Amino acid sequence: MWSCSERKNGTAGRAAGGRFGRRAFCLGMGSGAAALSLAGCGFAPVYGAGGAGGKLLGEVALPEPAGPIGYVFNRRFEERLGRAGPDASYALRLALATDEEALGGTSAGATTRYRLAGEVRFTLVDAVTERILVSDATQAFTGYSATGSTVATLAARRDAEQRLAVLLADQMVDLLLLTAPELPR
């Protein structure tokens, strides 16, 4: 236990003499046990040494972005997997589609809430042979409010489009990372 004087002096959490107390010891033991149990089950970080994600880092060429949503999508993809060089091993073909739906409204008939849904269908191909390696799709949605001025509504829509693009890119990268162990190098 710590005394009130230890707390006032800023040494709460440490026993007298500067050593860590039972709480720190227990926390350290818990995290160590968790690491050992994960290592025992064959867990390996996807980007770590020997991880399958290394195959994709800087090796997936993206198509030119189509519009602002495509730009944000590509930017997020490259944040996660890096920008591919001219001799990338893989090429990505994708179709990004969005749809907007009015959800809420006032008694006067004005729309107050929108739902922005998106889908990305993608195909990962071998850059040399054009052989299809992975073909899949993912969907996501977000919403925004239209209760402010026209400028505020446009800003909220633009923000929702950016959030949607990031969601879709993250989901697609996750799907690619899950299939990475089966990809040829």
Complete DSSP assignment for the chain? ---HHHHHTT-TTB-TTS-B-HHHHHHHHHHHHHHHHHHHTT---TTSTT-GGGGTTT-EEPPPP-HHHHHHHHHHHHHHH----TT-SEEEEEEEEEEEEEEEE-TTS-EEEEEEEEEEEEEEEETTT--EEEEEEEEEEEEEE--S-HHHHHHHHHHHHHHHHHHHHHHHHHHHHHHGGGS--
| Residue pLDDT tens, the chain, 185 long | 334 444 444 444 444 445 556 665 555 655 555 555 555 566 667 767 677 778 899 999 999 998 999 999 999 999 999 999 899 999 999 999 999 999 988 888 888 999 999 999 999 999 999 999 999 999 999 999 998 899 999 999 999 999 999 999 999 999 999 999 888 87
Residue 45 lies in a domain: no
pLDDT reported for residue 54: 83
Q: Indicate whether 96 and 14 sit together in one domain.
A: no
Q: Indicate whether 66 and 150 sit together in one domain.
A: yes
Q: Indicate whether 114 and 32 sit together in one domain.
A: no
- Number of domains making up the chain: 2
Q: Indicate whether 35 and 58 sit together in one domain.
A: no
In sequence order, the β-bridge partners of residue 118 are: 98, 140
Residue 178 lies in a domain: yes
User: Containing domain of residue 98, as a range?
Assistant: 52-182
Q: Indicate whether 150 and 62 sit together in one domain.
A: yes
Q: Indicate whether 33 and 122 sit together in one domain.
A: no
pLDDT reported for residue 185: 74
pLDDT reported for residue 96: 96
Cβ neighbours of residue 127 closer than 8 Å, sequence gap 6 or more: 61, 88, 89, 90, 91
* Rounded CA separation 149/157 (Å): 12
pTM: 0.74
Q: Indicate whether 28 and 62 sit together in one domain.
A: no
Residue 46 lies in a domain: no
Q: Indicate whether 78 and 135 sit together in one domain.
A: yes
Q: Indicate whether 62 and 9 sit together in one domain.
A: no
* Rounded CA separation 68/98 (Å): 12
Q: Indicate whether 70 and 33 sit together in one domain.
A: no
Residue 139 lies in a domain: yes
Q: Indicate whether 27 and 70 sit together in one domain.
A: no
* CATH number for the domain that contains residue 124: 3.30.160.150
